[in-house]
Structure 1
Amino acid sequence: MELEINVVDAFTDVVFKGNSAAVIITKDWLSDEHMQSIAIENNLSETAYVKKIDIHNYEIRWFSPITEIDFCGHATLAASFVIFAKNDDVKNINFYAEAVGNLSVTKMDSGYIQMDFPSRPPETIKDIPAALLNGLSIAPKEVLLNNQAYFVVYENEVDVTSVVPNNELLKQLAPYDVVVTAKSNNYDFVSRYFWPANGGDEDPVTGSIHTGLAPYWAGKLNKSRLIAYQASKRGGNIICKVADDRVLLLGKAVQYLKGTIQV
């Protein structure tokens, strides 16, 4: 079987930055085993599989090199970029994912792609796991949790950029990942994301976690529009808009590769 594959750098407008995702559009789902094997072979943060229903509606699934993921923002952005490139007159599309429901996406005149996601704010916890405290080189100011990750809040962005994770300890927090974050001087907030249990050591730019980061910082900073930066080695920018129970994430993307695979 021959399949078209696109590799797109998401949350950036230049190649080699942001977060890379592979996108494969199919008429029918491949087997779970095939999808996981391709994701392992690609060895990117995510491979997005998109099943076309019609020109405006699609189903989507995401696989890391380790496992299928419930929700992925940057690979949704990458998939949207590919679909819009194939259908120049289309400005709005809808994805359906089993774990998060309907996700609407709009191609903006500014060149940004806007994704409408459910808000998933974290809640403060009192009992902090020892694996989390011992798994980070800098002690947290505050710890919260949503259905995706532990949120470790630091006093300043220097802590975020300099913290060293012990991924063997953080792996013990499965199924949860870990995001570290702080208020920023140049942006509204910065973050880094560690997910050794589900994908790898550090994710370059994580769209899904901003559905929790954005409402958290919107409350702290008393503003509904925020500029975020994920301070990985590759780095990436995300515009966040918080409205009731939804979070709008805006980002750009750029094509890196288009080819075919034999499976």
Structure 2
Amino acid sequence: MTAPVLELDEVSFAHRGSGAPAVADVSLSVAAGRSLALVGESGAGKTTLLRLLLGLARPTEGAVRFDGEALRLGDRQLMRRFRRSAQCVFQDPYSSLDPRRRVGSIVAEPLRSLGLATRRTAPPRVAAALERVGLPADAAERYPHEFSGGQRQRVAIARATVCDPRVLLADEPVSALDVTTRVTVVDLLNELKREHGLTLVMVSHDLSVVASLCERTAVLEHGRIVEEGDTGQVLGAPAHPYTARLVASVPRLPGPRG
């Protein structure tokens, strides 16, 4: 069995001044090159888990491990290595890109901040990242407002993958897009997974996107995992009543009337 690249070991997290924990006793792992979805209603703890996996918050209890080593937010060298390996795509392509900067500068940001490229060596890597997500090289000279929502999310994905990370964490990556554009972005993420061996952890409330992208699914209710397993099994034959309610709540088009 492939060793986990990311792991949550009995993790709990409580916001300061809050009584109930946002996340309680969560243990999860995802192997290299595999994909995991975190699903549940608003307030279930999905985004909190993603922040913990990104090293943006410290667990109240338990540990977050990367390649078997516990993340220590105070260890700059360790966290710098982790940042080179794990990048994130955020929900809203309109607010996640700085409108005052050209796309080339936006996509090059991880290369500069992680010391992976110089001003001279960054442009070819930026061009390759833009080409990989289906955008022309001249997109680097344009501003975010010149692109559609789907194209902006492609820019965000190019920024997240320009430094060749091993892990991509995505927070509702298509929820702000129209239905047709969602399909193209989902296809792009599947292509990146397949061709580059990316490990994907995705937060989503859209179960159709989950079914299209993720091999495994963990269902959260009130900060606890109530069901976890193969996506087809979890969504097709849910074992927990909460999961069954989530699946039943998915809107379906009415059939034709005779």
**Which has more helix, going by share of residues?**
2
Question: Which structure has the greater CA radius of gyration?
Answer: 2
* Structure-1-length-normalised TM-score: 0.29
* Structure-2-length-normalised TM-score: 0.29
**Which has more strand, going by share of residues?**
1
